Structure 1
Amino acid sequence: MLKVDCLIIGGGMVGAATALSLADLGLKVALVEANAPQSYLPEQGLDLRVSAISLASEQLLQQLNAWQQVKDWRSCVYKRLGVWEDDIAYAEFNADEIQQSHLGHIVENRLIQLSLWQQLEQKNNVTLLCPEQLDTFSQSSDKVFAQLTNTQVEANFIIGADGANSKVRQIAGIGITGWDYQQSAMLINVKTELAQQDITWQKFVPGGPLAYLPMPGNNGSLVWYQDKAEIRRLSELTNEQLQTEVGKNFPKRLGKVEVIAKGAFPLTRRHANNYVKRRVVLLGDSAHTINPLAGQGVNLGFKDVAALQAVIAKAIGSGENYHDETVLKRYERNRRTDNLLMMTGMDAIYSTFANPSTPIKLLRNIGIFAAHRAPLLKKKALAYACGIR
């Protein structure tokens, strides 16, 4: 039987970052993942799954010695964020307004995961169990006993970083609240005629937002929010047919576009009723999934990682039992309110822009117009979105 301090289920971006952050505190960690990240080659096409990495997330990845490798591979830095519904009401946020060189980077999820795994492989207090999966686990008063497909593990506590359908959460009997937004989002990788790499933008239209995320070179990731039936229809089109639809519906800022790849996923909201239960801790999508409107999903997960590391580091420094439920609950108190605030805020924006009422639309545009001309409000909103104070 493998004996460790912490067993982490899920080796994606958040799970891998958690493993590194706890290993850096001297804990003996085992990380369970079904599929290792694919190696990187410069000639590989851009992945569909990308994230807008905030300044706070960038700082965490720097701390974990994983950020420089990501930058050496490929990423796209952006300095501005544009939001509008009608052209007369356009708001733009600029990194200069918060005295920063940039607002964030658009990075392929796989490259972040891969860089974190490369760091994990150098740690002699980390055991990577891959390919492996969790079958079940049980808890005693002071231990967790997990049965994996091929391995038995004993740990002081277990972390669920295994996504929105977390098996850890289900076995622990932690309930969730949430709903289906009755919409899907389509991701479309494109080559663009015009370069526009320092800005990410979002236009609100009746069916749902249209967004652009810059990628290295004259490449971009388009995000198309629509009802499920329409996204199914779009998904069945050839790349050439979809290209025509993009030309009809998206703003003309990018000139002609060539569709390279596409994929779609449903929009859902999930929030665990507890982040901690006895010796079980949930992080990232296992604890909360958010409307991707502002690209905050993985950034909230990385905030979870930083908060848990801080709580455990303080407990170790104070001579406390770091895996006691009363200690781990401090992480939940630290993160739950902030996550709920962000989730509620995104839902409010989503609902407001989904309302077709003419008076509501007028108020929306007045709000965007005013926001562009309110420097203090813009500064506070930008700093919060970037995760800085």
Structure 2
Amino acid sequence: MTLQNVAIIGGGLAGLSLSLFLNQRNIKTTIYELRSSNITSAGAIMLSPNALKSLDKIGAFDRIKSKGYFFRDVTFRNDEHEYLDAYEMGNADRFGYDALRIYRQVILDELRSMNGEAGVDIIHEKKFSHVVSENDNGVTFAFADGETCTADLLIGADGIHSTVRRYLVSGIKPAFSSVMAVTCAIPTKAVQVPYKPYEMPVSIHGQAGAFVMAPQNAEGSELLAGIQYRTHERTREAWDALFNDKQQLLDIMRADYDTWNPMVKSAIDAVPLDTLAIWPFHTVPKIEKWKSDKGRVIILGDSAHAIPPAAGQGVNQAFEDVHSLSILMGAANQGKVQWNESLDWWQEYRQNRIDRVTSLTNEMNRRRLPGWAGEGETIDSSWLFGVEIDKDVNAWIAEKK
């Protein structure tokens, strides 16, 4: 089987990075994106060493490293600022990279530019509809406007509400975890720290749970601030209404105002209404298969394994997906491995890490809700950040040879 013409559904971080990995292996890609080209993405993401290592492979790290905020630990403190614990999110001495917090739009813009430079077609406002047919020679698929296309491989990188996923498994719906984050962006100078220097990012734990503050631009002049809040599932329309009701979001953030220390109070007092946002934590139940029987349709990233953001690993795991898959695709084209066997191994390899990341995420969620006061062991991130994807995948390929 040769894979020379690949269609990617979804022009987000996973789809854009995958096309760059495949371009290195002389595999032609076309990206189909539902949204228009002028839609922007709000908020920032945390990139840990495992993802930065992958981004470095496609030349993206050098283009973004000056545009975000580097750090190593998130420090956990109680309401009196006493040290509880720390979670290592990066360490250049141990893993080659510190963690990088960066605006999502910044990295989207860079990856889009890189795809343009590589000659990759990104077709916007194109809504994927369904797979028409699949055989040993390829896959034919349709869009909502009635157009059909054919490719050697169709990859669904279309997010938690993936349409491509419906072709592989039926009845899979994202499940709400009963937790959402309420976040905003505040000026760092508005926060009254009790002493200087005060380590950031920080997670301050009080009666109401955790209040998180994290720098999110290169100079550290702006902070993400946020809380996690237990709530009920809503319809899409109700979630949209809540997102647009900035006063209600501020009321949620201020609900336990009197219980917080002066530093947190100063942060809450500085909240700009227009930056308030929500992030409902949805997950995707474990999916039995990420590929079709003939291996011509695949899902990855949030389409296959959406992870809540408490440990900051959702997009990082998507980058691991595309990095590892691209190596296998190159090996299949060289006749070193059988494609379907490769996909079986790939899903097992990736699922094992996703399972461990899910456990880590659950622990971070537990720590951010009311009741945690520092108990439990310090989290060891070495298994997560020390991964060597090229080594792991190439070792399996060598066994097959």
Q: Which residue of 2 aligns with 1:44?
A: none
Paired residues for 1:216-231 under 5 Å: 216=217, 217-228=220-231
Q: Counterpart in 1 of 2:283?
A: 269
1:79 aligns with 2:91: no
| Corresponding residue for residue 256 of structure 1 | 266
SS at 2:212's partner residue? Answer: strand
CA contact (8 A) 2:14 2:322 kept: yes
User: What stretches of structure 2 of length at least 5 have no aligned partner?
Assistant: 234-238, 389-401
Aligned-pair distance for 1:166?
A: 0.3
TM value normalised by structure 2: 0.78
Match of 2:152 among 152, 156, 171: 156
- Going from structure 1 to structure 2, the CA distance change for 1:253 and 1:267 (only over 3 Å counts) comes to same
Q: What are the Cα deviations for residues 186-208 of structure 1, in whole angstroms up to 9, with x where unaligned?
A: 12111122587963222445554
- Residue type at the aligned position of 1:172: L
Q: Equivalent residue for 2:297?
A: 280
2:180 corresponds to: 184
Cα distance in 1 for residues equivalent to 2:347 and 2:257: 45
Contact 1:197 1:215 in 2 (8 A): no
Measure how far apart 1:262 and its partner are. Answer: 0.9
State the distance in 1 between where 2:245 and 2:61 align.
34
Q: Aligned-residue CA RMSD in angstroms? A: 3.5
1:22 aligns to what? 22
In the TM superposition, residue 177 of structure 1 has moved relative to its aligned partner by 7.7
Letter in 1 for 2:362: D
Is the 8 Å Cα contact of residues 206 and 259 (structure 2) preserved in structure 1?
no
Q: Is the 8 A contact 2:5 2:152 kept in 1?
A: yes
Amino acid aligned to 1:329: D
Offset, 1:227: 1.9
Question: Which residue is 1:209 aligned to?
Answer: 210
Gaps of 5+ in 1: 41-46, 372-377
CA distance in 2, matches of 1:48, 1:121: 22
1:111 pairs with 2:125? no
| Alignment partners' CA distance in 2, 1:204 and 1:77 | 23
Partner SS state of residue 129, structure 1: strand
Identity rate, percent: 18
Alignment of 1:1-389 (within 5 A): 5-36=5-36, 38=38, 48-72=42-66, 74-84=67-77, 88=82, 90-93=84-87, 99=94, 103-124=98-119, 126-137=120-131, 138-150=133-145, 151-173=147-169, 176=172, 179-193=175-189, 194=191, 199-205=200-206, 207-216=208-217, 217-228=220-231, 235-237=245-247, 248=258, 252-253=262-263, 256-257=266-267, 258-260=270-272, 261-270=275-284, 271-278=286-293, 279-320=296-337, 324-351=339-366, 356=371, 365-367=374-376, 371=378, 381-388=380-387
Indicate if the aligned counterparts of 1:175 and 1:272 stay in contact, CA closer than 8 A. no
1:267 deviates by 1.4
Q: TM-score, normalised to structure 1's length?
A: 0.80
Q: Secondary structure at the match of 2:321?
A: helix
- Identify the residue that residue 394 of structure 2 maps to in structure 1: none
1:65, CA displacement in angstroms? 2.0
Distance 1:62 1:98, change over 3 A: closer
Query: Does the Cα contact within 8 Å between 2:250 and 2:276 map onto a contact in 1?
Result: no
Cα deviation, 1:153-177, whole Å, max 9, x if unaligned, reads 2111111110101000013335548
Write the letter of the residue equivalent to 2:228. Y
